[in-house]
Every structure is written in C-alpha cells, then in structure tokens.
Amino acid sequence: MPLPAGVYRADHVGSFLRPKPILDARETLDNPATAISPASLRAIEDEHIASVVQSQISNGLQSITDGEFRRAWFHIDFLQHLAGVERHGSLSSTNVTTHGVTPPKIVVVDKLGHPNAIQVDDFKFVEKSVASAAGGKDEGKKITTKVCIPSPTMVHFRGGREAISTEAYPELDPDFFDDLVKVYQAEIKDLYDAGCRFVQLDDTNLAYLCDEGMRAEAAKRHGEDPQALTRKYVQLINRAVAGRPKDMVIGVHLCKGNFRSQWFAEGGYEPVAEVLFKELDVDVYFLEFDDERSGGFEPLRFLPENKIVVLGVMSSKKAELDDKEDIVRRLNEAAKFCPRGLDQLCLSHQCGFSSTVEGNNLTEEQQWAKVRLEVEIAKQVWGEDLSV
C-alpha cells in the first residue's frame, strides 16, 4: 500500500531554528518604542523562509514547511487570530510549568469565529518558494507543502472552563465545541481552496494525557475522567476534519513538550492508544519515541492497517547525532507491533527543532546534519524513493 500523498519515509514535524535576523527583529516587539512594523517583520521572515525552504530540499526533505518562522509559539500565534480569542498573561499550572516555563494563556472572551483565513497567505508563500527553489518541483521530485496548525484541543485543555467566558458560553457542550469545530472547518476549507493538500494538527494534549500527574490535574481542572476527556478530544478533532475532500491528507502530531531541549510530560501511549489509533480520523500520526519517557512500542498494536506512523525515534533536543544502528534497530523493533510492519512506518525526530522562537540547544549546522542523517537512514531502510 502506498504512503498517503505528502507523507515521506524521511519526514519531519515542522519547525526549524530561527535565524538571528528573525530573533533580533522579534526582540524589538517587546518594546513599543523600538518595535519594527509588521510589514518590516514579514519582509525579514519572507527572506529567511525562502532560505529554509531551499535548505529543506537541499538536505533531502520532501515535506516542506515555513519552519514556523512567523511564530513565537507553535500554537499561540495561530489561535489568537480566531475571533473571540485573546492572549492573557501566562498559565500557572504546575504541570505545564515543571521546568519554570510559563506559556501564554489563551482566553475565550467572546463567541468563536473565523473572520479571515489564518494560514493561506503563509501557505502560498511557501508554495512560491518551493517552486523557485533549485532542486524543487522542476526536477520532478515529489515535494509537498505542509501546513502545521495547533489542534482544536489547544483552545480547551490548558485553561478549561475558567478560561472560557460564561457569558459567551454558559454551557460548553454543545455550543462552545460546535463553534470550535466550525472555525477549524472554515480554516481547513480555506487552505484546501488555496491548494493545500496536507494539514498537520499539533496536539500536545493527547500526549499529556499519557502522564499520570497531568491526567490527575486534567481531571481536577475539567471535572471529568481523563479517559472520557481523551474520547471527547478525539471526537472534537474528528468533527473538525469531517467533510474534508478525499485528496486532503490530515496528520496529527503528539508531543510531550519541547522547549529549549526540555520536556514536560512522560509516560507511554497505552492510556490513549486504543482510542487514538482506532477512533481518530486522521491518515498519519507523528509520535514522540525518542527516549524511555515515551514507553515501549506495544501501543502500536492498535494501529489499523490503513494508517501510517511517522516514528519520532530521533531527537531534535540534543546536539549530537543519533546512533544510526540504534535507530535502525528501533525501527525494526517498532515494526513488530504494526500489522504491515515497516511498510506502515516512516522516520522523523520526535518534535520540531524550535517549537518556540527560542529553539532547542543546538546550532543550525547541527540541525541540518541531523536531517541529513535521517534521510540517509530512511534510504537505507526503505530504499531511495522515500515517497513509497
């Protein structure tokens, strides 16, 4: 069975280390007196996105993103463009701030809405950059522009009822969730109409529900059993992507935290695996498996024959290269639990290299060396054509 269109044996989650000019430009935003204009910031981003597109292609990747260069946080910079959503201060949850990290808090202050497409212009710019990059589509090589957006669960999980206006939504079910579904359906439709055929939903929350401490905190915050919350989130995502055209591929990425090479949650996928694999209506899973915190590969036994897992057994957190033979061994170990073995697996790092603007603790040169090693391993395991 061929891979879904836009999925490759050597794949990646989406973000790359920000170049210094982008970091410098974003630093000015903290002070209104020195802040550069949005147009000036976008021009700097454009220049370096065109460059990172070229770098992805020249280093062997075929799934191409903008590196998330237009974002400070993988989720906040998208969600704050929804009508009714505002960014207020920081979260205070002890489990989210285990390492002293306090992400901004998303608050729903009014009815949710989708007045304008959020990612369409960004998608079009990457498409244009891919078309003009040497070694791109003109050589006949399969290349896909992938759009990464936060999962709809990100609007609910971390803040819960307290972060959603009781005036706008006296009851969360069904009104709040119905509106949340509608805004995601609208964004996905806008992206499809613009030519996008691959959307990846980034969802830390289903992964956090593998952590016993976070499961207990979630039960307290949301007032319901973590298993019921898992199923509610799966149903939410299913509704959000329902009705997508047959030629649009949907992926979901589960990650247990990625901030300056730090992690936030631990625990194997067993608590969510059966619902995740059997009930979630996506084509491909990008899963974190880079160390013992992620548990064993046994949960892959629930994987249906028609789905793919991009196995994140390599690490974007550390500067040193992964051991090639160890990666091959782990791929073969995971394949034992999949109905179709290695045919259902692809390879990636466990997360992006820069889920937030700060990035992980490695250099750009080390980042690309890790990407090249990944491509080399994938060709050794599956052959030269990484699209089959």
The domain tally of the chain equals 1
Instruction: Say if 39 falls within a structural domain.
Output: no
Whether the bond into 339 is cis, omega within 30 of 0: no
pLDDT of residue 104: 83
Strand, coil or helix: 107 = strand
Assess if residue 115 is contained within a domain. yes
DSSP 199-213: EEEEESHHHHTTSHH
Is residue 16 situated within a structural domain? no
Distance CA 351, CA 313 (A): 10
In the numeric block, the tokens 């999925």 are attached to 7
Residue-level pLDDT at 138:
45
What are the strands, taking DSSP E only, across 91-134?
104-113
Number of residues written out for the chain:
388
CA–CA dist 338, 58 (Å, integer): 32
Tell me whether residue 133 is in a domain.
Answer: yes
> What CATH number is attached to the domain comprising 109?
3.20.20.210
Q: Which domain holds residue 96?
A: 57-382
Residues of the chain where predicted confidence (pLDDT) is lower than 70 = 89-102, 134-140, 257-266
Compute CA 371 distance to the chain's CA centroid, rounded to the nearest angstrom. Answer: 17
Q: Name every residue whose Cβ is closer than 8 Å to that of residue 242 and which is 6 or more positions away in sequence.
A: 185, 281
pLDDT number for residue 93: 47
Number of helices (H), then strands (E), belonging to the chain: the values are 11, 10
Nearest of 4, 25, 64 to residue 285 by alpha carbon: 4
Q: What is the pLDDT of residue 135?
A: 53
In a domain, 281, yes or no: yes
Tell me whether residue 315 is in a domain: yes
Assess if residue 1 is contained within a domain: no
3-state secondary structure 298-336: HHHHHCCCCCEEEEEEECCCCCCCCCHHHHHHHHHHHHC
User: What is the pLDDT, as a whole number, of residue 97?
Assistant: 43
Is residue 44 assigned to a domain? Answer: no
The string of pLDDT tens digits covering residues 199-255 is 999 998 888 887 778 778 877 777 778 888 999 999 999 999 998 999 999 999 998
Q: What is the pLDDT of residue 88?
A: 82
